[in-house]
Protein backbone atom coordinates (compact mmCIF):
# COMPACT_ATOMS: atom_id res chain seq x y z
CA UNK A 1 0.00 0.00 0.00
CA UNK A 2 2.75 2.43 0.99
CA UNK A 3 4.68 1.71 -2.22
CA UNK A 4 1.60 2.40 -4.34
CA UNK A 5 1.13 5.75 -2.60
CA UNK A 6 4.75 6.72 -3.31
CA UNK A 7 4.44 5.74 -6.96
CA UNK A 8 1.14 7.60 -7.34
CA UNK A 9 2.61 10.71 -5.69
CA UNK A 10 5.68 10.63 -7.93
CA UNK A 11 3.53 10.25 -11.03
CA UNK A 12 1.29 13.14 -9.96
CA UNK A 13 4.34 15.35 -9.37
CA UNK A 14 5.76 14.57 -12.82
CA UNK A 15 2.45 15.31 -14.51
CA UNK A 16 1.97 18.54 -12.58
CA UNK A 17 5.47 19.73 -13.44
CA UNK A 18 4.87 19.02 -17.11
CA UNK A 19 1.65 21.01 -17.12
CA UNK A 20 2.96 24.03 -15.23
CA UNK A 21 6.30 24.59 -16.95
CA UNK A 22 6.57 26.58 -20.17
CA UNK A 23 7.41 24.44 -23.16
CA UNK A 24 10.01 25.52 -25.67
CA UNK A 25 9.78 22.19 -27.49
CA UNK A 26 7.82 23.46 -30.51
CA UNK A 27 9.66 26.57 -31.60
CA UNK A 28 9.52 25.90 -35.32
CA UNK A 29 7.90 29.28 -35.97
CA UNK A 30 10.24 31.16 -33.64
CA UNK A 31 13.81 32.41 -33.65
CA UNK A 32 16.20 33.81 -31.06
CA UNK A 33 16.50 37.57 -31.33
CA UNK A 34 19.42 39.15 -29.48
CA UNK A 35 19.61 42.68 -28.12
CA UNK A 36 15.90 43.36 -27.69
CA UNK A 37 15.22 41.99 -24.21
CA UNK A 38 14.46 44.45 -21.45
CA UNK A 39 15.98 43.92 -18.00
CA UNK A 40 14.58 40.74 -16.42
CA UNK A 41 12.68 39.87 -19.63
CA UNK A 42 15.20 37.56 -21.40
CA UNK A 43 14.15 34.03 -22.31
CA UNK A 44 17.20 32.01 -21.21
CA UNK A 45 21.01 31.93 -20.87
CA UNK A 46 23.03 34.78 -22.33
CA UNK A 47 25.95 34.59 -24.75
CA UNK A 48 28.60 35.55 -22.18
CA UNK A 49 27.60 32.68 -19.88
CA UNK A 50 27.21 34.92 -16.83
CA UNK A 51 23.78 33.38 -16.18
CA UNK A 52 21.73 30.46 -17.42
CA UNK A 53 18.17 31.38 -16.55
CA UNK A 54 15.27 33.35 -17.94
CA UNK A 55 14.56 36.70 -16.35
CA UNK A 56 18.14 37.38 -15.30
CA UNK A 57 19.04 40.16 -17.78
CA UNK A 58 20.28 43.18 -15.84
CA UNK A 59 20.14 45.84 -18.56
CA UNK A 60 17.83 46.72 -21.43
CA UNK A 61 18.87 45.74 -24.96
CA UNK A 62 22.03 43.87 -23.98
CA UNK A 63 23.32 42.22 -27.20
CA UNK A 64 24.05 39.02 -25.28
CA UNK A 65 20.47 38.57 -24.09
CA UNK A 66 17.76 37.09 -26.30
CA UNK A 67 14.04 36.51 -26.62
CA UNK A 68 12.06 34.15 -28.83
CA UNK A 69 10.17 36.02 -31.53
CA UNK A 70 8.23 35.01 -34.62
CA UNK A 71 10.55 34.03 -37.46
CA UNK A 72 11.34 36.91 -39.75
CA UNK A 73 10.53 39.64 -37.22
CA UNK A 74 13.83 40.04 -35.36
CA UNK A 75 15.38 42.58 -37.69
CA UNK A 76 12.25 44.72 -37.75
CA UNK A 77 12.35 44.78 -33.93
CA UNK A 78 15.91 46.12 -34.04
CA UNK A 79 17.40 42.81 -32.97
CA UNK A 80 20.48 40.86 -33.95
CA UNK A 81 21.23 37.33 -35.09
CA UNK A 82 23.51 35.24 -32.86
CA UNK A 83 26.48 35.95 -35.13
CA UNK A 84 25.81 39.72 -35.11
CA UNK A 85 25.39 39.68 -31.31
CA UNK A 86 28.69 37.84 -30.82
CA UNK A 87 30.50 40.44 -32.96
CA UNK A 88 28.89 43.31 -31.05
CA UNK A 89 29.84 41.77 -27.71
CA UNK A 90 33.47 41.38 -28.81
CA UNK A 91 33.52 45.00 -29.95
CA UNK A 92 32.14 46.15 -26.59
CA UNK A 93 34.69 44.08 -24.67
CA UNK A 94 37.63 45.37 -26.72
CA UNK A 95 36.46 48.98 -26.20
CA UNK A 96 36.72 48.61 -22.41
What share of the chain in percent tops pLDDT 90? 65
Distance CA 52, CA 60 (A): 17
- The verdict on residue 20 lying in a domain is no
| Number of domains, the chain | 1
**pLDDT tens digits, one per residue of 42-88:** 999 999 999 999 999 999 999 999 999 999 999 999 999 999 999 99
Neighbour count for residue 40 (Cβ, 10 Å): 13
pLDDT at residue 96, rounded to an integer: 78
pLDDT: is 23 or 67 the higher one?
67
Q: Which domain holds residue 61?
A: 29-95
pLDDT at residue 64, rounded to an integer: 96
| Surface-to-core class of residue 24, CB atoms within 10 Å of its CB (0-12 exposed, 13-18 middle, 19+ buried) | exposed
pLDDT: is 27 or 60 the higher one?
60
- The verdict on residue 88 lying in a domain is yes
Amino acid sequence: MKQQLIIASALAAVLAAGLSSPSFADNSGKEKCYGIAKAAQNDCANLSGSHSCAGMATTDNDPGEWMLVAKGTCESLGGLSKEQAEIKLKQQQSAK
